[in-house]
Amino acid sequence: MEDLMAVVRGDDVVGDRDGLASFVLLVPLVEAAVDHPEGAAAIEAAQRVIERMPANTVVASVLDWWFVVTTGRKSPTGHAFTKPDGIDDDVWHAMEQARDLSVPSPVAGWTKARRRLTRALGRLDDDLLLDSYGASKLPEERQVWAELIEDHRVGIEQLRRGVPGLVFELDETQYRKSMKRAGIDANSRRWREMTKRANQLVERLSTTAELVSQVRPQEHPVEPPILEGLPASLVEQLAPLGTLLLAAVLPLEFEAAQPDDSEVLADLTRAAE
């Protein structure tokens, strides 16, 4: 940690190896800091490292590009706009397309949300099925579920159209009346299970609605560029951060597990002491 902080805080030229090593620390800190003003020091530290890296290297270009798409700030060096030897044309083309997207939030976060929204909308029909939450053979339960879906029908259709600002809530009073009319005994196992399933449905609808509000697909219908993967040689040059740095042009399955923002910001505070 001390060696890495010396690189971050120093004034000397930063080579590729030290640059990547410092970004092992800085990547999660910067990603957490984008939505937390108290983490601005991490963004400034990343900028200082990039500014001290030599031009026309793969590592310098990718780190600068990552900084631009992750923070929404201007390039510290311009390396993000200069293709170095060592990056294939198709990879660089996807990087350029992503970098130049005009979207309402930093590109990296927006593209991740856009892909999650596409996935969520693709499974929406399944989310509306009672059997998606466990087998149900009783017609009374299916009637209650049908009434629940009908209560949210307008919002669901707006969700499909990409209308932002939607709020989904379970009207517990109405839902309990529906179960009573169907002859489901209050506080019985069936009652508790149907309540659990209704809350799960509303939670999924709410998550999708939050993604719609973040992505705003009606205003920004563009699909971000996506690569099936990265050349092994590029992954090796950027190790151990290759797929993490280029996540904005990769499918969701390439996402690395991200630490909790509060933990990351705590790490940043300790490192700065």
Q: How confident is the model at residue 236 (pLDDT cuts 50, 70, 90)?
A: very high
pLDDT at 222: 87
One DSSP character per residue, 48-83 reads HHHHTSPSS-HHHHHHHHHHHHHH-PPPSSSGGGSP
6 compared with 22, residue with greater pLDDT: 22
Tens of pLDDT, residue by residue over 156-184, are 999 999 999 999 999 999 999 999 999 99
CA 268 to centroid of chain Cα atoms = 21
Among the ranges given (107-116, 128-137, 197-206), the one the predictor scored with the smallest mean pLDDT:
128-137
Distances (CA, A) of 190 to 68, 170, 245: 52, 18, 48
Tell me: pLDDT of 37 over 90.
no
Q: Are 205 and 227 in contact (CB under 8 A)?
A: no
Of the candidates 63, 116, 110, 90, the residue with the CA atom closest to the CA atom of residue 242: 63
3-state helix, strand, coil in the chain (%, to 5): 65, 0, 35
CA atoms of 35 and 33, how far apart (whole Å): 5
C-alpha–C-alpha distance, residues 53 and 50, integer Å? 5
Q: What is the dihedral of CA 47, 53, 58, 59, to 10 degrees?
A: -60
- The tokens describing 20, both together, are 């990547």
DSSP 218: T
Note the pLDDT of residue 137: 75
Cα–Cα distance measured from residue 228 to residue 231, given in angstroms and rounded to the nearest whole number? 10
Burial 230-241 (b: 16+ CB within 10 A, else e): beeebeebbeeb
Sole residue written with tokens 């449905």: 201
pLDDT band at 266 (very low <50, low <70, confident <90, very high): low
Instruction: Give CA–CA dist 31/29, Å, rounded.
Output: 6
Gyration radius (Cα) of the chain, Å = 23
What count of residues does the chain have?
Answer: 273
In 3D space, the residue among 63, 60, 72 whose CA is nearest the CA of residue 100 turns out to be 72
**pLDDT, tens digit (0-9, with 9 covering 90-100), for 247-263:** 999 998 877 544 444 44
Tokens found for residue 144: 């209650």
Q: Are 249 and 226 in contact (CB under 8 A)?
A: yes
Which of 14, 9, 4 has the alpha carbon at shortest distance from 50? 14
